[in-house]
Amino acid sequence: MFSTTDTIIAIATPPGRGGIGVVRLSGPDAHAVARRLIAHDAPLEPRHATFTLVRLPPLRGFGGTRNADTTNDIDQVVALYFPAPASYTGDDVVELSAHGSPVVLRAIVAAAIDRGARLAEPGEFTLRAFLNGRIDLTQAEAVADLIDAATPLQARAAFDQLQGTLTRAIGEIDAALFDLIARLEASVDFPEEGYHFVEAGELAAAIDRLIARLGALLVGARRGRLVREGLQIAIAGKPNVGKSSVFNALAGASRAIVADAPGTTRDLVTEVVDLDGLRVTLIDTAGLRETGDEVEAQGVDRARQAQMVSDLTLFIVDRSQSLDPEDLLQSTDNKRLIVANKADLPPAWRRDDTVEISAKTGEGLDALRTRIAQALDAEPLADRPELTNVRHIALVQRAYDALGRARAASLADGGSLSEEFVLADLQDARAALEEIAGRRAPDDLLAHIFARFCVGK
């Protein structure tokens, strides 16, 4: 892992130009390095905005050479100083808010590195917050989820976890489990006295209560994964039935080319949309037909592959043209909706198992969104689930299974089995719960989690 005694620096705002750009310093020398970058003579007042100038040696493009003894004022900044431990990372932190010019921000970073800081690795600021006890591992993962959120429901679920809702839920279960383990260990430690701090019947009931609490978390786990990870929906059908028009209508933008000539779409076009709180990746595919065009044939092959890996296929048919039942056999997915497009035109046929829409006028699109949610078993999603992360779900499931084994052991041979057999499974369950919060997280797990963060966070 990284050294935690260095002073690190990075641009904390997204790449590109903007009204504001923030450079973040963290570490034991953050305040000293920052003072060497700015014109403010006095020490920075903690948690107080200080308006000042960035004063650096002349850089190429700003005039002069890197090693010149003189300095230039290159921008106005607002400096904020957060002394340890009351900062995001738990170390001294200084944030310099400059104008959002990449040239200026990179110059500040380069000058800070010249003065003893080093460039932060991805996620290193949040890693320090975890290592310094400012947040636990579930909250650290929630930071990344909140940044990546594409729908309001995703953002709310991530913020709940950042605020510690999952931490508290797991912590309460862990505390009850710890108490049960402590009483059983006391029974094991004093066998000659014949003390049993937990009776067999009471032990099974206590384990049942823990199983019920973990089970309640697992009930919402599938929908939690839907919220966090989203879904993939392929839009398929024959050429010229309006697949790209349906794609654009659901995406709310003209992302795919729409033309009268068949075979316009030859590659996969994707767009991420918010569908009733779910993050959905729509995939517009090539029209399904036999073709001698090599490029179009590759597109048709990719279309079939997209259907195979998607959570749902919207199979589009043209309601204004005669329907060949063989057309519907081109989609063999179990999870599919038949969408009858062009409802604004006189119908050539009708079927009860279709959703009738007009991508041109918008008619039926709300009904289609509702049917999609029903087909994916994604209703209702108004309540924010506590479990959304596949790592957390796997560990809760592991603890749940271990408690099931412990309950069986507690009742074996009429409850006469040694408490040591029950203890082994209870300790396995507790180890899984502790790994969720990061109390038993190995270094390779931490490296994997924080590698997905952006530099500057």
Write the CATH number for 102: 3.30.1360.120
Burial label, 274 (beta-carbon count in 10 A; 0-12, 13-18, 19+):
middle
pTM of the model: 0.76
455, part of any domain: no
> Pick from 308, 319, 406: which is nearest to 356 by CA?
319
Residue ranges of the chain whose pLDDT lies below 70 = 1-2, 58-71, 189-200, 253-267, 287-301, 303-304, 306, 325-334, 377-385, 414-418
* Cα–Cα separations (whole angstroms), residue 377 to 163, 311, 313, 367, 381: 28, 11, 14, 15, 10
- Cβ atoms of residues 419 and 194 within 8 Å: no
Give residue 347's domain range. Answer: 231-375
Same domain, 240 and 366: yes
**Do 148 and 275 belong together in one domain?**
no
pLDDT value at residue 48: 95
What the block records as the tokens of 28 is: 């034991």
**Residue 202 covered by a domain:** yes
Considering the domain boundaries, does residue 169 fall inside one? yes
* 373 contacts 379 by C-beta, under 8 angstroms: yes
Structural contact between residues 105 and 23, judged by C-beta atoms closer than 8 angstroms: yes
Say how far apart CA 259 and CA 165 lie, in whole Å: 50
pLDDT at 322: 84
Residues 56 and 156 in one domain: no
Question: What's the pLDDT at 447?
Answer: 82
Q: Does 211 share its domain with 251?
A: no
- CATH number, domain at 209? 1.20.120.430
pLDDT of amino acid 36: 93
Please state, as a whole number, how many other Cβ atoms lie within 10 Å of the Cβ of residue 219: 12
Last residue of a domain, one of 345, 375, 405: 375
Q: 56 and 80 share a domain?
A: yes
Do 23 and 128 sit in the same domain of this protein?
A: yes
Statement to judge: residues 191 and 147 lie in one domain:
yes
What pLDDT is stored for residue 348 in this prediction?
A: 87
Domain boundary among 134, 163, 187: 134
Query: Is 241 found in the same domain as 328?
Result: yes
Asked whether residue 447 is assigned to any structural domain, the reply reads no
Q: Is residue 255 assigned to a domain?
A: yes
DSSP 379: -
- Per the CB < 8 A criterion, the answer to whether 221 and 393 are in contact is yes
Number of domains in the chain: 3
Last residue of a domain, one of 134, 158, 193: 134
Taking the C-alpha atoms of residue 358 and residue 339, their distance in angstroms, rounded to an integer, is 10
Q: What pLDDT sits at residue 266?
A: 47
CATH of the domain at 367: 3.40.50.300
Are the C-beta atoms of 382 and 405 separated by less than 8 Å?
no
Rounded to whole angstroms, what are the CA distances from 138 to 51, 180, 291, 343? 36, 25, 51, 48
Per-residue model confidence (pLDDT) at position 195? 55
CA–CA separation, 231 and 240 (whole Å): 26
In a domain? residue 456: no
Same domain, 155 and 191: yes
Please check whether residue 312 lies inside any domain of the structure.
yes
**Cα first-last separation, the chain:** 16
pLDDT of residue 6: 93
- Residue 279 shares a structural domain with residue 180: no
- Is 274 a domain residue? yes
